Structure 1
Amino acid sequence: MPRHAVLDKHSHRDLRVRTEAGAALGDDMMAVLTVPSEFRRVQAHFPILFRREAGREDFTALALFGFETGENLFLDGDRWGARYRPLAMAIQPFLVGRPADGDGPGQVHIDLDHPRIAGAGDGVRLFDGDGMATPFLETIAERLGDLDEGYRGSGAFYDALIAHDLLEPFSLEVTLDDGSKHSLVGFHIIDEERVRALDAATLGALHAAGHLMPMFMAMASLSQLSALVDRKNRKLG
């Protein structure tokens, strides 16, 4: 059960965080949230799929790490097998919080029950001996800001995809080298044919709004599906 608190240099002066990769540290996840402003960095390593939450009309984007719950094919012991970690993973165990009324600037919160909270002498300090933020915490704050800004600004992107009917249901059945089969269901992708059919005025409007580039990045990311299958086969081998 998460136990969130506003990060405070007095209450958390001696707090340390583990930064290595590991299933026991919460990295054993099949997919993680990503935002359109991050798609350029994500697409070079992971497929980007879209999912509509049950009972809701809005979509979210996910960077895919595996084919079944709890499977992360980029995780090898304490080694992360890609040159990039999506922001939603890289900021753990921190998150952005806001005042109860929802107004005001974001605050750095921390989950004090997260497995990345380190014991004495382990991990990386958040504050130095003078109570100042360490370079590690400053980097975390920057990443939190990027993720929060990207998430809060993503609504217009999804509205545009829906308005132009550019998302189509996607399912994939993979037969692995050992004969086993894995299925991906319940996801959406951007319909490339419908994008090609858009007129010049619509494409210009999407570009002016900053939506065209993340659309192209999401479509390009699907080439990573075959690389993910290769990772699965190597793991089985």
Structure 2
Amino acid sequence: MTTHQLLDSTTHRDLRVHADADPALGDGVMSCLAVPSEFRRLQNVFPILFRRDLEHGTLSALALLGFEQGENLFVEDGRWDAPYRPLALSIQPFLIGRSADGEGPGQVHIDMGHPRIATGGEGMRLFDEAGVPTPYLETIADQLGELDEGYRASADFFAALERYELLEPFSLDVELADGASHRMVGYQLIDEDKLRALDAAALGDLHSAGHLMPIFMALASLSNFPALISRKNRRMGHG
């Protein structure tokens, strides 16, 4: 259950938040939302895939973290085992709030029902004794702003992928060292052949709109599948 509140230094002066990496604190997910503006930082660790909401027809980008529901192969003994943590996980339990019409500047809200809300003297403080935001909260605010801006800009990116028909269905049979297998279905990825066949005008359009770089980053990210499978095998005690 979510209980969103507008964050302020009076109501939440003494509030603390667990910042550790832990499946029980919200990190137990096999994928998380990714925005094109962070693809460059994601691409050297996580496969980036696309998925369509069958009910609404909308596209989203995902950073793949595991192969089973609830599995995050980048959480190890209370730490994040990768050089970059996706924004969608880093900002928990905070979110951007806006007026009903969606206009105006965003405000930092906090989900008081989130498992990262700490009790007692544990966790990271959000405000100091004088009510001034701590460096931790300032970092969160910057990440929230980046995620919000990236999310709002992603519609143009997805529209460009649709316009040039650059997505193709993707499925993968993941064979593990113990003989088990996992079949991944329902995802899409960049169709490299169609990208290569685009004419100069189309490539120029993508480049001028800032879409070409995240497309290349998404393609490059697919080389992370072998390393992710290796993580899975190690987690299971093989290799």
State if a TM-score over 0.5 links the two structures: yes
What are the ranges of 5 or more consecutive residues in structure 2 without an aligned counterpart?
Answer: none
Instruction: Give the aligned CA root-mean-square deviation in angstroms.
Output: 0.7
- Tell me by how many angstroms 1:101 deviates: 2.5
1:147 correspondence with 2:147: yes
Letter in 2 for 1:140: I
Percent pairwise identity:
62
1:30 correspondence with 2:27: no
2:151 aligned counterpart, secondary structure: helix
Verify the 8 A CA contact 1:65 1:73 in the aligned structure 2: yes
1:129 correspondence with 2:129: yes
Runs of 4+ in 1 over 6 A off after TM superposition: none
Structure 2 equivalent of residue 226 of structure 1: 226
Letter in 2 for 1:172: L
Structure 2 equivalent of residue 80 of structure 1: 80
Q: How many residues align?
A: 237
The one-character-per-residue Cα deviations of 1:31-88 (angstroms, maximum 9, x if unpaired) are: 0000000000011110000000121222000000000100111111202110110000
Structure 1 equivalent of residue 117 of structure 2: 117
1:38 aligned counterpart, secondary structure: helix
Structure 1 equivalent of residue 102 of structure 2: 102
Letter in 1 for 2:110: I
Verify the 8 A CA contact 1:23 1:77 in the aligned structure 2: no
- Tell me by how many angstroms 1:89 deviates: 0.3
What are the ranges of 5 or more consecutive residues in structure 1 without an aligned counterpart?
Answer: none
Structure 2 equivalent of residue 212 of structure 1: 212
Letter in 2 for 1:230: S
Letter in 1 for 2:190: I
Question: 1:138 & 1:76 partners in 2: Cα distance?
Answer: 26
Question: 2:59 & 2:169 partners in 1: Cα distance?
Answer: 12
The one-character-per-residue Cα deviations of 1:74-118 (angstroms, maximum 9, x if unpaired) are: 111202110110000000000011012222110101000111111
TM value normalised by structure 1: 0.98
Question: 1:60 & 1:223 partners in 2: Cα distance?
Answer: 20
The one-character-per-residue Cα deviations of 1:202-236 (angstroms, maximum 9, x if unpaired) are: 10111010000000000000001111111111111
1:10 correspondence with 2:22: no
Letter in 2 for 1:75: V
